Amino acid sequence: MIECRDGIHSPAGPFNAGLAAAETEFVAIQGSDDVLEAGAVEAWERLATRFSADMVLTRLHRGSKRRPIHAPPVRPWLCGPADFVRDRLYYRSAPLGLMRTKTLRDLGLKMTARLAVGEDIAFSMRLYSEGRVAVQRRGPGYLIGEDGPARVTMDPRPLENELAHIPDLLSRPWIHQWSPVASQGVAIKTLRIHIFGCLDTRPQSWWDDSAHEGQREKLAGLAREVLDFAPDCVRAFSRADTALLGAILDPTVPTARMLELAQARRHFLSPAALLPAHLGGLTHREGTLRFSTASFLVR
């Protein structure tokens, strides 16, 4: 046990302190109200040894009912080291599992201490894209707790704080070494999970509150940064996704209408959510059909 007092409202400090103090071949991080299932570490170590892995991504379950978390939606037939793009590893933001200590130090990886949310995203994206990753498909894994107090990361905060990890990631020089396909995949995930996702936790009253003036413009600006990074990413979107993105990019669209479109895209079996806005979306790896099928098959 070591003490960490850095005065920063972020889990990055304690994580970094622990990672820096580690002297073992492998290291792992764990959330404060999470638990490991019996035998998890041994199972991860066997995978790391078998595949000479720098990272073993663990199976994730949530709550006492052990509901599976379908991320990343890897190829159903995956039986060896995973591929950053083909196995959509960027959908796992947190590096939960077993990490090779030497690889972390060779890459100079640290959590982003100035971020209260998303401090692990740049860390994870570089590790997954440059390291050798194994994905645990069966056996004991990691259980995300739901019995404790509400997680800090679920509290609505100004978008410039909650989504600060987006410009942080896009400012990293190493992302420019990614292939166009990798850049598109990360951009699609960022729009779907983070940009669209922030609408699910904020009622209209939050947007209308005078204390949150200018948040629509902030959201539009962040979405444009993602599109500037990978303009072609929209070709994978459904009609519902495309309609919502258009409303986000135009702050003059009434907030009520934007939130209606956000709700509509979550009707996953509706024609608008299933049909692609562009013909190429039918076969695109991140298109609704392929992505939903892969997610369903993750257990």
For 41-64, the pLDDT digits (tens) are: 999 999 999 999 999 999 999 887
**Per-residue confidence (pLDDT) for residue 291, from 0 to 100:** 82
Given this model, what pLDDT does residue 294 score?
Answer: 80
The structure tokens listed for 248 are: 């986000």
Asked if 41 contacts 98 with a C-beta cutoff of 8 angstroms, the reply is: yes
44 vs 141: CA distance, rounded Å: 8
The helix or strand, by DSSP H or E, that contains position 97, with its residue range, turns out to be strand 97-100
Q: How far is C-alpha 154 from the chain's CA centre? A: 14
* CATH 3.90.550.10, domain 12-144, yes or no: yes
Euclidean distance between CA atoms 20 and 57, whole angstroms: 20
Is residue 148 a contact partner of residue 33, using CB atoms and an 8 Å limit?
yes
Predicted TM-score (pTM) of the model is 0.91
Write the pLDDT tens digit of every residue in 230-260: 999 999 999 999 999 999 999 999 999 999 9
Phi, psi for 146 (deg, rounded to 5) = -130, 5
Chain mean pLDDT for the chain: 91
Residue 20 has a pLDDT of: 94
* pLDDT tens figures, 263-297: 999 888 788 888 888 877 777 888 887 888 788 77
Q: Could you state, in order of their start, the residue ranges of all structural domains in the chain?
A: 12-144, 156-297
Question: What letter does residue 191 receive in the DSSP assignment?
Answer: I
